Amino acid sequence: SAVISQKPSRDICQRGTSLTIQCQVDSQVTMMFWYRQQPGQSLTLIATANQGSEATYESGFVIDKFPISRPNLTFSTLTVSNMSPEDSSIYLCSVDSGASGGLQYFGPGTRLTVL
């Protein structure tokens, strides 16, 4: 299975600021995914990031608020822009394992609190 790391693991930020979350994988992967998990809720897909193309955003998520970069096959960043307390969540990146069925492996998550 892929080993995925995320930075930072947690952060406390002021409203109106932006935070960039990094996701690093120990092997080359085609697809990376960013999820949000609001307190007490399930996971919701924000966007899919393929190397060399623009990220594909899910309904309710826009590039201006959650810009994503995917400069190579092992790395991606998600920026949470102009934050408000409603952005307080766990943000998780995941990768397609390449196994049949589409299994995704997840990073450890970034726990964000916005004051």
Partner 1 sequence: AQKITQTQPGMFVQEKEAVTLDCTYDTSDQSYGLFWYKQPSSGEMIFLIYQGSYDEQNATEGRYSLNFQKARKSANLVISASQLGDSAMYFCAMKRAAGNKLTFGGGTRVLVKP
In the complex, the residues that contact partner 1 under the rule CB under 8 A are: 1, 31, 33, 37, 41-45, 48, 58, 90, 92, 94, 96, 100-109, 111
For residue 57, the one-letter residue type is Y
Q: Residue 50 or 81: which CB sits closer to partner 1?
A: 50
Residue with tokens 């899919």: 48
- Contact criterion met (CB below 8 Å) for 31 and 47: no
Closest distance of CB 85 from partner 1, Å:
19
Q: CA triplet 47, 76, 95: central angle to 5 degrees?
A: 65
Closest distance of CB 115 from partner 1, Å:
20
